[in-house]
Structure formats: C-alpha cells, structure tokens
Structure 1
Amino acid sequence: MTVSVILHDAIGASPAEIEFIRESVALLREAVQAPGFGGSVRQAEYSSASWQGRHGTIRELNGGGVWDRIVQGRESGHCGDHALNLSIEIADLPDATAGRGVIGATRIGTLPIFSARWFLERCMMVDDPVNYAAHLMHQWMHVSGFVHRKDEAGKDAPSVVSRLVRRTLEPKHGERIDAQLTALVTLSVERCDCCEVTGSAPGVGMQVA
C-alpha cells in the first residue's frame, strides 16, 4: 500500500519559495514511500500518540494506529485517499529573536498549515529541503488529528514521525541537511506546546523553536 503527498496551495509564497516547497514535498513523498518507513513508524517508541476526533474526544493509538492514518492519508474528519494533502500558508510567525520562535502552527484537523516565513527563508538560505520536509510531516500529523501532550521529551507522535522523515532521507540526501537547522528543528520538536482542548474548540498545534 503506497501513500502519496500532494501540494494543493502555497499561499503567500514567492515563485522561488514555491519551487523550494515543491522540492521538499517531493522529498517527503520519497520518505513516506521508502521501504521500511512504515515499519519504523509502527515500531517507534512514543511517549504519547494522542489522536483527537472532530468532536474533541481523544484516543491513544499505538504505532500501528499511527501508521494506519498516515498510509491511508486520513485527514481528520475525512475518508482516507492514500495521500497526505497539504495546503500551506506562509505566515509571519514570531522568530527566535522574539523569544521562543514559532516554526509552524496548525489548527487541529484543518488546513492550511501555517509555516513561518523566517523558517522557510532559513531553510532556503542553506539549501536544506530535508528539514523543511520534516516540518511539513510534523504539521500534517496535526491535520490528521494528532495532538501534543505536555511532553518535553519530544517523543509524541508528530515529533517522532517528523524525525523519522529526516532519518529516512539522510542516507541519500545527508549532504543537504544543515546541522544548525537540525539542532533548531530538534529543539523545536522537543519543546512543542499545543492542543489545549476546551469544549468544542479545536486545538492549535505549534512547532516552537
């Protein structure tokens, strides 16, 4: 069973940024289709794999349940079409100079993914589409309905799966992975805060640096 990755929109992106985003999407597609990626997701160690339904109910999934949603391309509230559907909006989110920089933010179960302009520019500056692909995976996990618990270890499902994307791409594309960006993304993934669910209001997943 194969899953694809489809970019529908890149709102607010320049032509050069769109080209870079498309390359990152192609790398994300390569990662999720790689032999062994599904096994890595199923066997990974998660501190939590909390999935929130459209009505706010939260369930804990195991690794098999995490992979099932990915391989079926199941965005929250939709039937699976075996594709990770991405609609991205480039947003002026706070950067690290403002304190705790925000790399991305996604309202749980909905598109678009809000991706920080400063982070995209930094990835382009060092020509690192791999870390940007990992960022897109992290945010798609929120679109699918996965939420963070208050977990500073960075071992919840969005954080773990995004790192597996980078790890899968490293043997072939390692020369394009910038060490400083990896440190930034790893720190941000491990310190993600999000998803306080109050009543019927959906949570917001933020990837924080």
Structure 2
Amino acid sequence: MGLHARMDCQPDCSTYAAVRPVAIGLLDCYGKCGSMNRAEECFNNMPSPDIICWNSLLGGYSSLGDSTQVFSLVKKIQKAGLNIDAITFISIRTACSHAGLVEEGKHYFDSMTGLGIRKSVEHYNCIVDILGRANRLEEALVVVNSIPVGADAVTWRILLGSCRKWGNVEIGKVTFEALVQAVGTKEDASAYVLMSDLYGSMSSIDKFL
C-alpha cells in the first residue's frame, strides 16, 4: 500500500498534522493528487502553520489552476502576519497562467522588487508563460531578454511552445536559434520538434488561403 493510500486510511488527519515535517509532506502529497479537502483538513489541524506550510497548501490549489482559492489564501497569509516569499510568488503566477490572468500575474511579478524578493529564472519563466499563453509574444521576448543572469533552455522552450501555439514564425525563429545555443553541444530533439510543428501549422494554414 502506498503512502497516500495509507494516509487516507487514517480517519483523523491530526494523527500526522502535529508532526510538522510529516504534515508538510502530507500537504504536498494531497496537493499533487488534487485531494484538496484532505489537504485543508490536514492544514487546519497544524499548530501555528508557518509560510512553508501555507506555501504547500497554496501549491496544491495553484497546480489545479484554482486562482480564486490561491488569491484567497494569499490574503489569509498576509492577515496572519506572515510575509509571502519567492515560493509563494511562483504559486501565484502559476495560477495566473492557468487562469489567463495576465495583468494580475504582471502585477505580482512587478511587486516582488518592492518587497525585496529576488526574482529567479523560474519567476521569469512563469511570467513568460503567462504572456505566451495570451499571445503577447513580443512582450514575452522582452521579458526573456531582460533576465539578469540570462535565459535558460527552459525559458526558450516555453516561448517556442507559445510561438508554435500561435503560429508566430518570426519570433519562433529567434527563439529556436537561442534555444539551440542554450543547450550547446547537447542534442535537444524537442526544439526541432517544436519548430517543425510551427512550420507545419503554417503550411496547413497556407493551404486554406
């Protein structure tokens, strides 16, 4: 019997919730399985949850794209007197991306500087994904080029995937070349597949014109 199944056999989440490391593991487990009722039950039995515990619960709702619950939890975190951190912002922008909340995602991204939170490449990747899903590819490319430490292969794959989705060959070419350069001597079949699909989609469109 797996860990998740054994936990579900327990009628009372308080059995584990009092042990913080186990409780956090439970929150992650339930969140990844989409069992948010169980996650909430576990969280509510935790004594004095800190920001790590809140982030674990937040991550579950974020992965489900439940932006309403994510924003509600962020308000509760602040009301509890805790400071949201870099992990919190990743969950916020992931939810914004799934829900298509572009302006909200940009707002939270921009607010990080004022809160003294350092933006990692992962944070930039989130906002690139938000813009890419909304077909704001020019803006996404500007964000990519503004990353202080430089974009990584994941960043370029996200943008190239958006170019394929929207059929933007011009930005797609730039992105493909940057991705090939980013991976260096390593073979990256996904880059060629994405670019091939992009050209393929444009050929299909041309047939109907």
TM-score (norm 1): 0.22
Q: Which has the higher contact order (CA 8 A, sep 6+)?
A: 1
Of Structure 1 and Structure 2, which has the larger fraction of its residues in strand?
Answer: 1
Structure label with greater radius of gyration: 2
Taking structure 2 as the reference length, the TM-score comes to 0.22
Bigger helix share: 2
